[in-house]
Amino acid sequence: MTTPLLQVEDLKMHFPVKSRGLFRRVVGQVRAVDGITLHINSGETLGLVGESGCGKSTAGRSIMRLLSPTGGKVILDGVDITNLSRREMVPHRRTAQMIFQDPYSALNPRHTVGSIIGAPFIVQKVKPVGGVRKEVQELMARVGLNPEHYNRYPNEFSGGQRQRIGIARALALKPKLIVCDEPVSALDVSIQAQVINLLQDLQQDFGLAYLFVAHDLSVVRQISHRISVMYLGHIMETASRDVLYSAPQHPYTHALMSAVPVPNPQLAGKRERIMLQGDLPSPINPPKGCVFNTRCFAAQERCRVEVPELIEVTPGHQVACHFPITESLGTTLITGPDPGLTEQPDNAPDSPNAAATNAVFEAGAEPWAQRQS
């Protein structure tokens, strides 16, 4: 068996909650990530999905060591980076890079594109053959930017182009892993497709692995080889894309699947919809036992006292549930390629089916709980 590029074991990230007033005592903990275990192999994409506030970004930032985890382990390319200092982390930043959700705030408006993309070379004291400028211009061309725009500023680019700048910067040091935190959520639907296609091309060319964080199951399905479903700081289910979409076993995954828009109205009418009751509980005071028990349609007494372990039910399929659902509930009716993620040119006008496509993505872009309540 090959060793995974990234191994995350029982990772925890708790943020202290402090009282008001002079002494600011610690009065609780936000358990944003509360013991997640996952791995990513070289060249593969693991999608990480879950509703807003479930801890996806915190997980990504902890794995990247932008945060110092409260517990657990992060092993990157064979090195335990969990407790490395900021300085000790510097060489390992070449192995893993990050792309952020908001292409506007992620780029310094006072720096030119050339200096933004070239910054990793300076920080890491890397001298590319032919010089930084040549290398940056090659990167710009590779991600679909005009290399002659080297001296332009971020505000001269569209949202999609800015995301390409972020991708070029992440690629500069030839990483093995890129953590993508909702890289297309802020973009128009046609631009989303272009950026997803670019990420897939780059994966093929450079053998990159991605941790792809998103709350839109349509987008995650398009790009992921395997998918982990997260809820209130925990992994609820991990499976290959096809298994997760055709035969999920966790009640929460069923609820998510039942809310994915189906473009065919006849099929959509046949599908069972599972409505989640109430809001996501507070990660400061999560429910005892299974954290999903307050909203789960399959909950029983045991769920309120005993935390379910993430158990492998079939090879590569892990579920954290005392009563996994093994029969079809009629919640998954997705077959064939995803609609709306076909490549379009930068200046593409709205296609005839753009309205339908937009509807798919607009619905998919809402936090799950809000959509279902």
Residues that bind ligand SF4 (CB under 6 A): 250-251, 290, 292-293, 296, 298-299, 303, 308, 321-323
Rg (CA), the chain: 21
Residue 369 dihedral angles phi and psi, to the nearest 5°? -60, -40
56 lies in the site for ligand ATP, by CB under 6 A: yes
57 lies in the site for Mg ion, by CB under 5 A: yes
Q: With respect to ligand SF4, which residue has the nearer C-beta, 32 or 296?
A: 296
Q: How far is the CB of 98 from ligand ATP (least distance, A)?
A: 13
Residue 225 dihedral angles phi and psi, to the nearest 5°? -85, -45
Q: Which residue is nearest to Mg ion (CB)?
A: 57
Helix spans in the chain (H): 56-63, 86-89, 113-123, 132-142, 159-171, 189-206, 217-223, 241-246, 251-258, 265-270, 354-365, 368-372
Q: Which of 6, 32, 243, 321 binds ligand ATP (CB under 6 A)?
A: 32
Q: Which of residues 244-263 bind ligand ATP (CB under 6 A)?
A: none
Q: Residue 364: which of ligand ATP, ligand SF4, Mg ion, none does it interact with, CB under 5 to 8 A by kind?
A: none
Cα 368 to Cα 361: distance, rounded to the nearest angstrom? 13
Q: Residue 96: which of Mg ion, ligand ATP, ligand SF4, none does it interact with, CB under 5 to 8 A by kind?
A: none
Cα 302 to Cα 282: distance, rounded to the nearest angstrom? 21
Q: How far is the CB of 252 from ligand ATP (least distance, A)?
A: 14
Residue 300 dihedral angles phi and psi, to the nearest 5°? -130, 175
45 lies in the site for Mg ion, by CB under 5 A: no
Q: Residue 317: which of Mg ion, ligand SF4, ligand ATP, none does it interact with, CB under 5 to 8 A by kind?
A: none
Cα 373 to Cα 363: distance, rounded to the nearest angstrom? 13
Binding site for Mg ion (CB under 5 A): 57
Residues within the interface to ligand ATP (CB under 6 A): 15, 30, 32, 50, 52-58, 215, 283
